[in-house]
């Protein structure tokens, strides 16, 4: 993976993830993640969630004024 001009070797894997809700219901889903081969090479890079492989699987919104992340399932039965 090329991140900020630095090449990192690693693998892409799927795992089960749970988003914890302060209000409402928690959400469990599968996510596709990149795992670097060597943790020390990651350095000061922040962890991040990506649109492809994770956020595209849920409904979400961000309120920058309150630093709040809203999320929900995309299942039709939830509508």
- The answer to whether position 71 is within a domain reads yes
At 76 the pLDDT is 58
Q: Does residue 60 lie in a domain region?
A: yes
What's the confidence (pLDDT) of residue 26?
93
Residue 73: domain span: 2-36+48-78
Query: Which pLDDT belongs to residue 77?
Result: 55
- Per the structure, how many domains does the chain have? 1
- Say how far apart CA 54 and CA 40 lie, in whole Å: 25
Does 41 reside within a domain? no
Is residue 16 helix, strand or coil? Answer: strand
Closest to 60 in 3D by CA, of 50, 77, 32: 50
Per-residue pLDDT tens, the chain, 79 aa: give them: 777 777 888 888 898 989 999 999 999 988 888 888 877 777 777 777 777 778 888 999 999 999 999 999 887 554 4
Q: Identify whether 22 is part of a domain.
A: yes
Q: Is residue 43 part of a domain?
A: no
């Amino acid at each position: 993976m090329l991140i900020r001009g630095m090449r990192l070797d690693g693998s892409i894997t799927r795992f089960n993830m749970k988003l914890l809700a302060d209000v409402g219901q928690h959400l469990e889903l599968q996510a596709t993640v990149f795992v670097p081969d060597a943790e020390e090479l990651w350095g000061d890079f922040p962890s991040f969630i990506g649109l492809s492989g994770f956020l595209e699987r849920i409904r979400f919104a961000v309120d920058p004024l309150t630093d709040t992340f809203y999320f929900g399932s995309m299942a039709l039965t939830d509508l």
